[in-house]
Structure 1
Amino acid sequence: MDRREIAALLAYIGRLDPRLIRTDDGEVREQLDQWHELLEDVPIATPYGWDARVTAKKHIRVSPYPILPADIGRPWEGYRRDRLARHSDPTPSIDPDDQSAWTAELIGTRHAVAVGTAQPAQARAITSGRDEIDPKLEARLKQVGSPIPPAARAALAPYRPARAAREEAIAQGQADALGVRCDWCQAQQGEPCRRRRISPTGAVRGTTLRTEPHPCRLELATAQQAQQTERLQQPAMA
């Protein structure tokens, strides 16, 4: 609040509680200076739920003691903490390689939430729709072509052999074996196949991931791909 807003707040409080009214010019200036010094970073009101006049009115209604600047500043700090606690940092729209701009946008968003000029961003549920994607992020994704840059994908390939083999097969036009469930090892769709380790007694001691899918899974994926291709070609033939 600036000095003009502080003066308006003191006039409002004085109307509700005459004990705060000062008639001497020196006392008025001293009171104005004191309140401005302590509440300079507190806004008079925000678009989302904060109003210093409402806070002062609540204090005067329930407390027998004259209001102090701390009775305005303390609720304001609680208001800030509550908003930041409910805020989940949204992904900045800036290029993440520009670290200074990325950090500046993140800090700016937090500050806007804390001072009440923006609503807290809630943690969003994972959805399959694309209508909720930030337009700036979507444009950036189209420009890059993939969430993982090609250089990073190549560097990760030795640590993700199953995924690398799947991506290479799809790039060559082959069937996506991980797109179907494996009838042999019961691996679910999207999961790599597993190799069972059998003990001498015949019991399963454990499983390890396979780089290549089981042949039956690949055959099933190939059959489904052929069926899809046939269905797509039927309207054109008709």
Structure 2
Amino acid sequence: MDRRELAALLAYIGRLDPRTSRPDPGEARDQLAQWHELLGDVPMATPHGWDARTAARNHIRISPYPIVAADIGRPWESYRRDRLGRHTDPTPAVDPDDQAAWTAALLRARHAVATGCAQPAQYRAITSGQRDPELEARLREVGSCIPPAPRAALARYRPARAAREAAVAQGRPDALAVRCDWCLAPIDEPCRRRRTGPDGKARGTAPCATAHPSRLDLATAQHNQQIQQDQQPSMA
């Protein structure tokens, strides 16, 4: 606040609590200089919730003591801390390799939030277990949330998933869609190769790149049955 705004604030406070009024011109100048020194960086009001007159009125309403500059400064600092605590620093729209520009953009955003010129940027909370219909439609259109180029690059590191995706794309049965009766691998998990020690006891298992034949036979039977069920309404 500049001196003119502080003079207006002191006049407003004097109307609510005459004890703070300074009829002597010299005392009024000293009071104005003191408040300007302490509250010069505090705004009179912001677009988002702060008003020094409201802070003054709240203090006068609940406190029996005359108001001082700290009774305006404390609510202002609480206001700043609350807003910065709810801010999550969105990604600046600058080149991330330019460290100076990146830091300056973050500081500008935080300063705008702290001074009440902008609202805090918060992460959206999970409101339900359902996906956005637009996202579902987009995933059905592209087939996966992973683009084709990264998917091809990752194929060598996850052969079981790559084989499954290739089978589904070619219309062949998905072996991982059923439980394996041989190694007891659950649905969506690759088959395991059992390792036994000299004593005949299991020592560990290792994932297989391909499914066991019995699991593939079961998936094929289920796939053919599903095809027959889909064709029955059209034949009728």
TM-score interval, normalised by the smaller of the two chains:
0.5 to 0.7
- Supply the distance in 2 between the matched residues of 1:39 and 1:32 (Cα, whole angstroms): 10
Picking from 74, 77, 82, the partner of 2:80 is: 77
Distance 1:113 1:165, change over 3 A: farther
- Supply the distance in 1 between the matched residues of 2:20 and 2:13 (Cα, whole angstroms): 7
Distance 1:143 1:233, change over 3 A: closer
Identity of paired residues, percent?
47
CA contact (8 A) 1:59 1:67 kept: no
Partner of 1:237: 235
CA contact (8 A) 2:196 2:202 kept: yes
CA contact (8 A) 1:3 1:36 kept: no
Partner amino acid, structure 2, of 1:66: I
Give the Å deviation of 1:36.
5.7
- Supply the distance in 2 between the matched residues of 1:126 and 1:210 (Cα, whole angstroms): 37
- When normalised by structure 2's length, the TM-score is 0.68
The secondary structure found in structure 2 opposite 1:154 is helix
Partner of 2:219: 221
Partner of 2:132: 130
CA contact (8 A) 2:20 2:66 kept: no
Picking from 148, 151, 169, the partner of 2:149 is: 151
- Supply the distance in 2 between the matched residues of 1:167 and 1:159 (Cα, whole angstroms): 14
- Supply the distance in 1 between the matched residues of 2:231 and 2:20 (Cα, whole angstroms): 85
Give the Å deviation of 1:212.
0.9
CA contact (8 A) 2:194 2:202 kept: yes
The secondary structure found in structure 2 opposite 1:39 is coil
Distance 1:216 1:142, change over 3 A: closer
The secondary structure found in structure 2 opposite 1:186 is coil
Q: Alpha-carbon deviations, 1:38-84, whole Å to 9, x = none? A: 213x854636xx66555445544257463324222221133124423
Partner amino acid, structure 2, of 1:172: Q
Picking from 149, 161, 182, the partner of 1:163 is: 161
- Supply the distance in 2 between the matched residues of 1:5 and 1:218 (Cα, whole angstroms): 80
- Supply the distance in 2 between the matched residues of 1:2 and 1:177 (Cα, whole angstroms): 75
Distance 1:218 1:52, change over 3 A: farther
- Supply the distance in 2 between the matched residues of 1:167 and 1:74 (Cα, whole angstroms): 56
Partner amino acid, structure 1, of 2:224: A
Give the Å deviation of 1:236.
0.7
Structure 1 unaligned segments of length 5 or more: list them: none
CA contact (8 A) 2:6 2:35 kept: yes
Give the Å deviation of 1:152.
0.8
CA contact (8 A) 2:13 2:56 kept: yes
Partner of 2:176: 178
Give the Å deviation of 1:26.
4.2
Q: Alpha-carbon deviations, 1:107-163, whole Å to 9, x = none? A: 699888764736743442783433385x9xx76x68866421111111111111111
- Supply the distance in 2 between the matched residues of 1:224 and 1:64 (Cα, whole angstroms): 82
- Supply the distance in 1 between the matched residues of 2:110 and 2:219 (Cα, whole angstroms): 48
Partner amino acid, structure 2, of 1:150: P
- Supply the distance in 1 between the matched residues of 2:68 and 2:143 (Cα, whole angstroms): 60
Partner of 1:117: 119
Q: Alpha-carbon deviations, 1:164-215, whole Å to 9, x = none? A: 1111111111111112222222222222222221112222111111111122
Partner of 2:68: 67
Partner of 2:42: 39
Give the Å deviation of 1:17.
4.0
- Supply the distance in 2 between the matched residues of 1:180 and 1:3 (Cα, whole angstroms): 77
CA contact (8 A) 2:86 2:120 kept: no
After TM superposition, the structure 1 stretch with the greater mean CA deviation from structure 2, 70-79 or 22-31, is 22-31
Partner of 2:194: 196
- Which structure has the bigger radius of gyration? 2
Q: How many residues align?
A: 221
